[in-house]
């Protein structure tokens, strides 16, 4: 009954309602919500999805893409809550039914497995993370002899960055070299040969890298027959944070919905912070003109998140930018407190300040979870992490479980990956060399033998290992065939791997006990995934968050502080926000190589950081900070000054303060002024 108006609409403002009700549940023309930070874009998107479902849309036919897996699952739960107001118990299946909610990469991986056979892929493909990709690039570089050329051939990391940039921006190599990597322009011919070899190697080994997930998807979506089928699976396609998508992602959307019907995108051009990954702010600006059918455009101007004073300071920072953003954000949340600009001597003092302020806030009733510390680069939080640990303040660091990078965890994952896809050379190399007596050349022989036999496990069994490996060989062959035949059950597979790995762990590493604990923690995480394939895919694409607690992630209901890079804090909000190292050299991060565009992006980053705060914002400025230097210059301290994004002309928007001022209030040695005469009181008691 479409005359019935659900109650949740009454909580939204008029513009938000226009976006939510666009098409009123039917597939309608393209919709763009372009609006400033904290204006309710994500919230509107959640309401829109809920409203579609309330009006009868099938949640299994809704494709919802957000910037992280966490954001996607939060959105699904929120949709269920909102729709629940109307649907009651019937809504309880929504979260599961919204199974096509995820990141572009995660959704891409699932669709590619679905259509693998149609597009000439083996559905058992494994996914390489950046480090694996760099290793494979390095193999190719060596094979071609480029690593030994006269003059310095670009490093594996640079080669991968160039390749990735060209793929994501859908730009010719020459153009990418000219505009982003001019110092490599002389190697254009060799790079072409290298990239061709890299692509061949990936195909031979049945692996896809991150970029392939988008590239294959875009190519697949462009095939007329598949395209119709693929586009027909989804009635509605909705994307959050659209300002940070790249050319490939835009082309995927265009191929899914060529006339824009059922398409909703939301974003904020002032928050575009991913151009280093070829994100294209033009995507969102050009969206209205992209389709034959004109897009409905909704602008939201009221900010519900931050106090007026915080918003004024953030607006002042972005107002200094050379590009003009059309949005005019306002807030009705009054406050007498301006955001703080805090001078401290160094990073140690910065850590003390932050800990002190956070504890004071907690005493006043603000949970740790309602507070976050943000920083430009992941390593900036090092000294703070130490101080938090020392003071027993639990925290979770967003954006990458540290232990996933640890050698022993990678070993275990490589065993699983090798079993999933025996052609994955990077995984095979790593695994085989765990066996004593097997080095790189034996490992490569084994992988080759396996590749030429019909059944990989048989190929492995037939191989005659060198004498030194003879003892360990049968155990490995047995494990491998067991994992291959799939007789093992998930996550019991992982336990099998651990049991096999433990003796090697003891042999390779001294601190085997803590490493064993990590692997047990990995088993814990694994139990949350339905299958080995899903576990490997998701873990590679979007690693879980790191925690201060060695015993594993804190329980949901426990209280902990959030630490996050600014990039990973996108879209979120906290009552109190602390930004570390608000100084030149940190934000903007590198003064030496910054082009004007790079510097503008750093300004938008600071804007994103500041607009995460609801009530309290502290920008901390150490007068010197530590730099992990490149070879010649080495590690050193650098003297810093306030970030250039807060020039003297806008200082009025802040309250300037220092660590000393906080410390003075709090110093136990400082004598309070005597205000009561207790002696007199004692005497009075007996009067
Ligand atoms: P960002 O640009 O940072 O992603 P956003 O535009 O997506 O921000 P949301 O995160 O959706 O903004 O909303 C910011 C805050 O405002 C949230 O706490 C949300 O619940 C609240 N909010 C949004 N719309 C309304 C409304 N109509 N009434 C009251 N609160 C609202
Ligand atoms: Mg948002």
| Least confident segment among 265-274, 314-323, 506-515, 616-625 | 506-515
Residue nearest to atom 15 of ligand 1 (CA): 305
Work out the average pLDDT over 509-515.
78
- Cα torsion for 431, 437, 443, 449, to the nearest 10°? -110
CA atoms of 659 and 537, how far apart (whole Å): 45
CA of 305 to the centre of ligand 1 (A): 6
CA of 591 to the centre of ligand 1 (A): 34
> The tokens 């000393």 sit on which residue?
660
CA atoms of 654 and 669, how far apart (whole Å): 30
CB 632 within 8 A of CB 295: no
For residue 648, is pLDDT > 70? yes
Number of CB atoms found within 10 A of residue 473's CB: 18
Ordered DSSP codes for 268-307: -GGG---GGGTB-THHHHHGGGSSSSPPEEE---B--SS-
Q: Known binder of ligand: residue 42?
A: yes
Mean pLDDT of the chain: 88
pLDDT at 634: 59
CA of 313 to the centre of ligand 2 (A): 20
Residue nearest to atom 23 of ligand 1 (CA): 40
Residue nearest to atom 2 of ligand 1 (CA): 37
Q: Which ligand is nearest to the CA of 304?
A: 1
CA of 38 to the centre of ligand 1 (A): 5
CA of 19 to the centre of ligand 2 (A): 15
Asked whether 40 lines ligand 1 (CB < 6 A), one says yes
CA atoms of 319 and 182, how far apart (whole Å): 32
Type and span of the H or E element at 97: helix 94-97
Q: Known binder of ligand: residue 179?
A: no
Asked whether 37 lines ligand 1 (CB < 6 A), one says yes
Asked whether 13 lines ligand 1 (CB < 6 A), one says yes
Mutate to test the pocket of ligand 1, among 81, 305, 370 (most ligand atoms within 8 A of CB): 305
CA atoms of 19 and 13, how far apart (whole Å): 10
* Burial of 83 from C-beta contacts in 10 A (0-12 / 13-18 / 19+): buried
Asked whether 74 lines ligand 1 (CB < 6 A), one says no
Residue nearest to atom 14 of ligand 1 (CA): 38
This prediction has a pTM of 0.87
For residue 215, is pLDDT > 90? yes
Number of CB atoms found within 10 A of residue 152's CB: 10
Report the DSSP pairing between strands 340-344 and 613-622: parallel
- Give per-residue pLDDT as tens, 27-60: 999 999 999 999 999 999 999 999 999 999 999 9
How far is CA 19 from each of CA 79, 84, 676, rounded to the nearest angstrom?
15, 20, 62
- Give per-residue pLDDT as tens, 432-478: 999 988 998 889 888 888 877 777 777 888 888 888 888 899 999 99
CA of 270 to the centre of ligand 2 (A): 13
Atom of ligand 1 nearest to the CA of 43: 11
Asked whether 299 lines ligand 1 (CB < 6 A), one says no
Q: Which ligand is nearest to the CA of 611?
A: 1
Asked whether 268 lines ligand 1 (CB < 6 A), one says yes
pLDDT at 631: 46
CA of 572 to the centre of ligand 2 (A): 7
The predicted complex's ipTM stands at: 0.99
Residue 238, classed as helix, strand or coil, is strand
- Counting residues of the chain whose pLDDT is more than 90, the rounded percentage is 60
- Give per-residue pLDDT as tens, 579-630: 999 999 899 887 656 688 888 899 999 999 999 999 999 999 999 887 765 5
CA of 40 to the centre of ligand 1 (A): 3
Work out the average pLDDT over 112-129.
93
Beta pairing partners, 656: 341
- Give per-residue pLDDT as tens, 248-265: 999 999 999 999 999 999
For residue 550, is pLDDT > 50? no
Asked whether 613 lines ligand 1 (CB < 6 A), one says no
Residue 57, classed as helix, strand or coil, is coil
Q: Which ligand is nearest to the CA of 240?
A: 2
Mutate to test the pocket of ligand 1, among 18, 37, 40 (most ligand atoms within 8 A of CB): 40
Q: Which ligand is nearest to the CA of 612?
A: 1
pLDDT at 274: 87
Q: Which ligand is nearest to the CA of 327?
A: 1
Q: Known binder of ligand: residue 641?
A: no
Asked whether 305 lines ligand 1 (CB < 6 A), one says yes
CA of 33 to the centre of ligand 2 (A): 11
- Counting residues of the chain whose pLDDT is more than 70, the rounded percentage is 91
Q: Which ligand is nearest to the CA of 9?
A: 1
Among 122-126, 272-276, 392-396, 618-622, which range has the highest average pLDDT? 618-622
Atom of ligand 1 nearest to the CA of 44: 11
CA of 328 to the centre of ligand 2 (A): 17
When pLDDT is cut at 50, 70 and 90, the band that residue 578 belongs to is very high
When pLDDT is cut at 50, 70 and 90, the band that residue 378 belongs to is confident
- Give per-residue pLDDT as tens, 55-102: 999 999 999 999 888 899 999 999 999 999 999 888 889 999 999 999
Question: CA gyration radius for the chain?
Answer: 28
- What is the 3-state secondary structure of 478-523? HHHHHHHHCCCCCCHHHHHHHHHHHHHHHHHCCCHHHHHHHHHHHH
Q: Known binder of ligand: residue 166?
A: no
pLDDT at 549: 53
Tell which residue, 183, 186, 195, has the closest CA to residue 156.
Answer: 195
Q: Known binder of ligand: residue 36?
A: yes
Tell which residue, 95, 356, 119, has the closest CA to residue 218.
Answer: 119
Asked whether 47 lines ligand 1 (CB < 6 A), one says no
| Cβ-proximal residues to 269 (8 Å cutoff; 6+ apart), any chain | 34, 243, 281, 284, 285, 325
CB 260 within 8 A of CB 291: yes
Asked whether 243 lines ligand 1 (CB < 6 A), one says no
CA of 576 to the centre of ligand 1 (A): 16
């Amino acid at each position: 009954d479409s005359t019935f108006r659900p109650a949740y609409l009454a909580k939204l403002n008029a513009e938000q309602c226009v976006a939510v009700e666009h098409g009123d549940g039917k597939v309608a023309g393209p919709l763009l919500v372009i609006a400033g930070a904290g204006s309710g874009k994500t919230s509107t998107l959640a309401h829109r999805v809920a409203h579609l479902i309330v009006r009868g849309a099938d949640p299994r036919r809704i494709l919802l893409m957000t910037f992280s897996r966490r954001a996607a699952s939060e959105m699904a739960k929120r949709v269920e809550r909102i729709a629940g107001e109307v649907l009651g118990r019937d809504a309880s299946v929504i979260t599961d039914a919204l199974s096509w909610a995820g990141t572009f990469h995660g959704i891409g991986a699932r669709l590619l497995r679905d259509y693998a056979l149609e597009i000439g892929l083996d559905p058992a493909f494994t996914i390489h993370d950046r480090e694996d990709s760099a290793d494979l690039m390095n193999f190719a570089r060596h094979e071609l002899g480029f690593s030994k050329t006269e003059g310095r051939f670009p490093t594996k990391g640079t080669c991968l960055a160039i390749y990735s940039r060209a793929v994501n921006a859908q730009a010719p190599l020459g153009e990418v070299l000219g505009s982003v990597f001019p110092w490599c322009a002389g190697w254009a011919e060799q790079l072409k040969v290298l990239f061709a070899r890299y692509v061949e190697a990936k195909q031979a080994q049945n692996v896809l890298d991150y970029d392939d997930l988008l590239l294959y998807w875009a190519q697949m979506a462009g095939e007329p027959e598949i395209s119709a089928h693929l586009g027909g699976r989804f009635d509605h396609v909705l994307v959050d944070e659209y300002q940070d998508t790249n050319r490939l992602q835009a082309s995927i959307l265009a191929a899914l919905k060529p006339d824009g019907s059922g398409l909703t995108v939301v974003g904020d051009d002032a928050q575009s912070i991913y151009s280093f990954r070829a994100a294209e702010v033009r995507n969102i600006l050009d969206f209205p003109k992209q389709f034959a059918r004109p897009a409905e455009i909704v602008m939201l101007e009221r900010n519900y998140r931050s106090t007026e004073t915080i918003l004024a300071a953030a607006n002042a920072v972005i107002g200094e930018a050379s590009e003009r953003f059309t949005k005019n954000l306002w807030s009705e949340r009054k406050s007498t407190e301006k955001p703080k600009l805090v001078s401290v001597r160094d990073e140690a003092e910065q850590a003390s300040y932050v800990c002190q302020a956070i504890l004071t806030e907690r005493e006043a009733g603000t949970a740790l979870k309602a507070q976050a510390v943000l920083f430009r680069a992941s390593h900036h939080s090092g000294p703070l992490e130490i101080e938090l640990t020392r003071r027993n303040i639990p925290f979770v660091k967003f954006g990458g479980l540290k232990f996933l990078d640890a050698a022993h965890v990678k070993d275990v994952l490589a065993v699983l990956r090798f079993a999933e896809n025996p052609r994955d050379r990077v995984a095979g190399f790593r695994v085989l060399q765990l066996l004593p007596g097997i080095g790189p050349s034996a490992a490569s022989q084994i992988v080759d033998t396996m590749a030429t036999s019909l059944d990989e496990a048989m190929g492995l069994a037939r191989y005659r290992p060198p004498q030194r490996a003879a003892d360990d060989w049968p155990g490995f062959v047995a494990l491998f065939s067991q994992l291959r035949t799939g007789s093992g059950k998930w996550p019991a597979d992982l336990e099998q791997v651990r049991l096999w790995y433990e003796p090697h762990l003891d042999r390779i590493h001294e601190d085997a006990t803590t490493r064993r604990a990590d692997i047990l923690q990995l088993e814990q995480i694994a139990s949350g995934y339905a299958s080995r394939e899903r576990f490997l895919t998701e873990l590679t694409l979007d690693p879980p968050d790191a925690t201060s607690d060695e015993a594993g992630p804190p329980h949901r209901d426990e209280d902990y502080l959030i630490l996050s890079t600014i990039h990973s804090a996108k879209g979120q909000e906290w009552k109190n926000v602390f930004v570390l190292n608000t100084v030149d050299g940190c934000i903007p991060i590198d003064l030496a190589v910054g082009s004007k565009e790079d510097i503008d992006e750093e300004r938008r980053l600071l804007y994103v950081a500041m607009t995460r705060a609801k009530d309290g914002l502290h920008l901390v400025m150490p007068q010197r900070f530590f730099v992990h230097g490149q070879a010649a210059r080495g590690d050193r301290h650098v003297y810093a000054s306030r970030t250039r994004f807060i020039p003297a002309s806008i200082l009025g928007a802040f309250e300037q303060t220092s660590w000393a001022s906080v410390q003075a209030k709090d110093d136990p040695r400082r004598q309070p002024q005597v205000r009561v005469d207790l002696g007199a009181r004692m005497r009075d008691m007996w009067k």
